[in-house]
């Protein structure tokens, strides 16, 4: 085991029952870990012709150099593969909390690659050096929660499990993955595991990683605690007094608004998107009740992506209200949306592809195309991106997000959080909230430090946004490769006396303290850029058409931003010139201005401005 790294990648071919180890050093030197490591493995191992459910596709699980170190919200991990996250297949990725990724490192591995297809349902058992492919016929058709119970009963409570539900077995396009501690992964990756007849991956291990400079690491942990000694109080409608309690992820050491609750003796999560899956837009400020918690448990149990379901349910309601769908044809109690009966029927029908559920299993955009023009016209009220995810950080409100959405195959939530979190913080101050402290001046200073120009904080203009988007992407790709949690990173703000702008040097200092490698902020961001470019190359190799495909959904150009389109600013307020609050209600994207932004962005990236391909 080297500082921060386990030193090995485990590669398993299910078609050949073949298990080998590769040295990870060949990959981590240039690509760090996490998303970077997965992208490089994918580039090297998956032929360009391979489809998502072909045996040649690789299902890649990776941790990063911060896994195993407490105090940095750095025990996150990733899964990558080609997946049908939207109508077209593309390289996809999911970011998880929980312990599975860190335990994989404790078992001796920085990554796991699964290729091929088993002849019958199997699960993989990784116990340090011992690796086995075992029969999982008795686990097939079981929910994720049942699989965890059965495996823990057989193998003991200490194991960590990644598994799929019935949705992934049935190749639902937005099937998710579930690991213990309620960690779920989106992006359509569940079906890839299902296509390989791989029901679960169990890990256990006991080799803790060491840091090259443990004292420096401790100092950094103390400094970060100081910067975030209070938790920023994002609206937490998923916190229900007497039912849920704050619950910090394994090895985080910092904490956020994450909550869990106990139901029938078991712990379930209540957090953010998962808790909002069955909340109708008009109910956003009401604490979720038991039906909402049931919906999250059903999605996680069957393995359905909550961010897709969250858009699909109100879209179904709108289709019903407009007379485009009825209860008889769909077999769904559409007049009872909000009830336990509806969500139970809907999730089962999609996961098992029963009747109308088979159409919905293709994703909301494709289902709307099959239903007709009226259903397609309603998509703009609910669906944000090509991957069918719910609307949240609207590019008509946050112009940096235009480029973030346009250049990714799915909603890039880890990037979108960076500008939207700062906007939320500023809105609190501007509205005079008790815990508002992030002034217009702070916002501009943070924009200068993190995005390259104070004008990037003025959301009423496209000026400075291409550079901001590039910087956010490069930083995010480094963060996703370490792998740090985007609820905490980057540390763009802090509770300093007399100033609230954060520190962009922390990630590289943590990386250096753990690995002993001398990398500064610019060096780490250059690695992030390399990883972003590699992912771009993968997408182009898979058929992404460069500039032509770098587009957000068309309705953003056509339809005005409405009241309540963005949950945290119903009045569509942003910071404008001189720090003035300005409403963008009614805004649409302007084609020519967006195209100019793209040209500037390609030039900053060193890409050909006409094609959006990299210059050679
Ligand atoms: S910040 Fe929150 S979501 Fe992120 S690792 Fe910590 S507890 Fe988990």
Residues 540-592 pLDDT 10s: 999 999 999 999 999 999 999 998 888 889 999 999 988 999 999 999 999 99
Q: Which atom of ligand 1 is nearest to the CA of 248?
A: 7
Query: Are the C-beta atoms of 111 and 122 separated by less than 8 Å?
Result: no
Tell how far the Cα of 580 is from the centroid of ligand 1, in angstroms: 33
Residue 284 CB neighbours (<10 A) = 14
Q: What is the pLDDT of residues 150-207, one digit of tens each?
A: 999 999 999 999 999 999 999 999 999 999 888 999 999 999 999 999 999 999 999 9
The answer to whether 395 and 465 are in contact (CB under 8 A) is no
**Tokens read off for 177:** 């993955």
Pairwise CA distance, residues 26 & 43, whole Å: 14
Protein residue with least CA distance to atom 8, ligand 1: 249
- Taking the centre of ligand 1 as the mean of its atom positions, its distance from the CA of residue 175, in whole angstroms, is 23
Taking a C-beta distance cutoff of 8 angstroms, is the pair 186, 299 a contact?
no
Residue 135, Ramachandran bin (φ over 0: left; ψ between -120 and 50: alpha; else beta):
beta
By most ligand atoms within 8 Å of CB, the mutation choice from 256, 269, 483 for ligand 1 is: 256
Mutate to test the pocket of ligand 1, among 97, 181, 272, 421 (most ligand atoms within 8 A of CB): 97
Q: How far is the CA of 267 from the centre of ligand 1 (A)?
A: 17
* Residue to mutate, 182, 247, 254, ligand 1, most ligand atoms under 8 Å from C-beta: 254
Q: Which atom of ligand 1 is found nearest the CA of 73?
A: 5
- For ligand 1, which residues put their CB under 6 angstroms from it? 73, 97, 248-249, 252, 254-256, 258, 485, 487-488
pTM listed for this prediction: 0.95
Residue pair 305/176 in contact by the 8 Å Cβ criterion: yes
Instruction: Say how many Å lie between the CA of residue 358 and the centre of ligand 1.
Output: 35
Residue 238 confidence (pLDDT):
79
Q: What is the pLDDT of residue 235?
A: 60
Nearest to 62 by CA among 77, 74, 76, 75: 77
Distance CA 203, CA 130 (A): 10
- 402 vs 405: CA distance, rounded Å: 5
Report mean pLDDT in 10-residue bins for the chain, 616 residues: 93 98 95 98 96 98 97 96 86 95 98 98 97 98 98 96 98 96 91 98 96 97 84 67 89 89 91 78 70 94 96 96 97 96 98 98 96 96 90 94 95 95 95 92 97 97 98 98 95 82 96 97 98 97 94 95 89 93 97 98 96 80
Distance 256 CA to ligand 1 centre (A): 6
Going from the Cα of 75 to the center of ligand 1, the distance in angstroms, rounded, reads 9
| CA gyration radius, the chain | 23
| Cα dihedral across residues 438, 441, 444, 450: positive or negative | negative
Give me the pLDDT at residue 497, please: 67
* Per-residue model confidence (pLDDT) at position 32: 97
Return the structure tokens found at 194. Answer: 């299902």
Characterise 475 by phi-psi region: left (phi > 0), alpha (psi -120 to 50), beta (else).
Answer: alpha
CA dist 405 and 606 (Å) reads 20
Residues 581 and 525: their CA atoms lie apart, in Å, by 32
**Among the listed residues 217, 207, 8, the one whose alpha carbon sits nearest the alpha carbon of residue 113:** 8
- Could you tell me the sign of the dihedral formed by the alpha carbons of 231, 235, 241, 244, in that order? negative
- Identify the pLDDT of residue 232: 53
Q: Which atom of ligand 1 is closest in space to residue 485's alpha carbon?
A: 4
| Spacing, Cα 293 to ligand 1 middle (Å) | 20
Question: What is the C-alpha to C-alpha distance for residues 515 and 65, in angstroms, rounded to an integer?
Answer: 7
CA of 108 to the centre of ligand 1 (A): 24
Q: Are the C-beta atoms of 6 and 109 separated by less than 8 Å?
A: yes
- d(Cα 596, Cα 189) in Å, to the nearest integer? 34
Determine whether 248 is exposed, middle or buried from the number of CB atoms within 10 Å of its CB (0-12, 13-18, 19+): middle
- Residue-level pLDDT at 577: 87
Q: Which residue, judged by its Cα, is nearest atom 4 of ligand 1?
A: 485
- Say how many CA atoms lie within 13 Å of 440 toward its Cβ: 15
Taking CA atoms only, the protein residue closest to ligand 1 atom 2 is: 256
Please enumerate, as own/partner, the contacts of 145-152 that have beta carbons within 8 Å and a separation of 24 or more.
145/178, 145/266, 145/297, 145/300, 145/301, 146/301, 147/199, 147/200, 148/178, 148/180, 151/123, 151/200, 151/202
Find the DSSP H helices in 22-171: 25-31, 34-45, 100-106, 144-155, 166-169
**Cβ atoms within 10 Å, residue 408:** 23
CA of 486 to the centre of ligand 1 (A): 8
Pocket test residue of 34, 230, 258 for ligand 1, highest count of atoms within 8 A of CB: 258
Please tell me the distance between residue 505's alpha carbon and the centre of ligand 1 in angstroms.
Answer: 20
CA dist 290 and 61 (Å) reads 33
From 102, 252, 269, mutation site for ligand 1 pocket: most ligand atoms within 8 A of C-beta:
252
Cβ–Cβ under 8 Å, residues 123 and 134? yes
Give me ligand 1 centre to Cα 73, in Å. 6
Strand partners, 161: 202
Task: Please give the helix or strand (H or E) that residue 9 lies within, else none.
Answer: strand 8-13
Q: How many helices (H) and strands (E) in the chain? A: 23, 19
Enter the tokens of residue 576: 């404008």
Q: Ligand 1, residue 253: give the atom nearest the CA.
A: 6
Helix, strand, or coil (residue 203): strand
């Amino acid at each position: 085991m080297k500082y921060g790294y386990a030193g090995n990648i485990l590669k398993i071919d299910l078609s050949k029952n073949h298990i080998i180890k590769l040295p990870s050093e060949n990959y981590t030197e240039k690509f760090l870990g996490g998303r970077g490591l997965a992208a490089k493995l994918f580039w090297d191992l998956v032929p360009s012709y391979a489809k998502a459910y072909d045996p040649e596709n690789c299902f890649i699980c990776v941790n990063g150099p911060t896994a195993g170190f407490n105090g940095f919200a750095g025990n996150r991990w990733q899964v990558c593969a080609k997946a049908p996250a939207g109508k077209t297949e593309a390289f996809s990725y999911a970011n998880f909390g929980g312990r599975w990724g860190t335990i994989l490192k404790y078992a001796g591995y920085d990554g796991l690659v699964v290729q091929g297809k088993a002849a019958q349902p199997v699960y993989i058992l990784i116990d340090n050096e011992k690796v086995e492919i075992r029969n999982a016929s008795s686990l097939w058709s079981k929910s994720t929660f049942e699989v965890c119970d059965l495996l823990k009963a057989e193998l003991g409570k200490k194991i960590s499990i990644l598994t799929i539900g019935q949705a992934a077995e049935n190749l639902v396009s937005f099937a998710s993955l579930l690991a213990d501690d309620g960690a779920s992964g989106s992006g359509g990756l569940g079906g890839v595991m299902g296509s390989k007849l791989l029901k679960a991956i169990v890990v256990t291990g006991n080799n803790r990683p060491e840091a090259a400079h443990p004292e420096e690491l401790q100092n950094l942990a103390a400094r970060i605690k100081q910067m975030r000694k209070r938790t920023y109080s994002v609206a937490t409608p998923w916190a229900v007094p007497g039912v849920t309690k704050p619950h910090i992820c394994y090895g985080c050491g910092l904490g956020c608004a994450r909550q869990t609750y106990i139901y029938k003796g078991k712990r379930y999560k209540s957090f953010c998107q998962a808790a909002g899956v069955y909340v109708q837009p008009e109910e956003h400020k009401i604490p979720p009740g038991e039906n909402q918690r049931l919906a999250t448990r059903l999605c996680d149990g069957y393995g359905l992506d909550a961010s897709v379901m969250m858009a699909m349910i109100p879209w179904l309601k709108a289709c019903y209200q407009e007379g485009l769908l009825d209860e008889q044809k769909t077999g769904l109690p559409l007049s009872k949306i909000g009830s336990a009966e509806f969500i139970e029927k809907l999730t089962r029908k999609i996961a098992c592809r029963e009747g109308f559920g088979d159409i919905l299993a293709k994703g909301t955009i494709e289902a709307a195309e099959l239903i007709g023009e009226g259903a397609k016209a309603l998509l703009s009220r609910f669906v944000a991106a090509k991957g069918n995810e719910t609307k949240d950080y609207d590019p008509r409100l946050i112009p940096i997000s235009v480029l973030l959405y346009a250049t990714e195959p799915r909603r890039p939530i880890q990037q979108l959080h960076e500008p939207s979190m700062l906007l939320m913080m500023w809105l609190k101050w501007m509205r005079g909230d008790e815990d508002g402290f992030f002034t217009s001046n702070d916002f501009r200073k943070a924009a200068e430090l993190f995005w390259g120009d104070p004008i990037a904080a003025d959301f009423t203009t496209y000026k400075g946004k291409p550079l901001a988007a590039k910087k956010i992407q490069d930083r995010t790709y480094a963060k996703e490769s370490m792998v740090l949690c985007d609820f905490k990173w980057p540390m763009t703000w802090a509770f300093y006396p007399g100033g609230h702008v954060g520190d962009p040097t922390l990630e590289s200092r943590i990386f250096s303290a753990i690995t002993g490698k001398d990398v500064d902020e610019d060096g780490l961001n250059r690695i992030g850029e390399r990883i972003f470019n590699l992912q771009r190359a993968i997408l182009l190799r898979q058929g992404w058409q460069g500039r032509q495909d770098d587009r957000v959904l068309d309705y953003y150009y056509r339809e005005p931003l409405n009241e309540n389109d963005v949950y945290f600013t119903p009045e569509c307020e942003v910071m404008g010139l001189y720090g003035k609050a300005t409403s963008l209600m009614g805004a649409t994207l302007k084609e020519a201005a967006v195209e100019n932004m793209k040209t500037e962005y390609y030039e900053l990236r060193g890409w050909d401005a006409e094609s959006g391909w990299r210059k050679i």
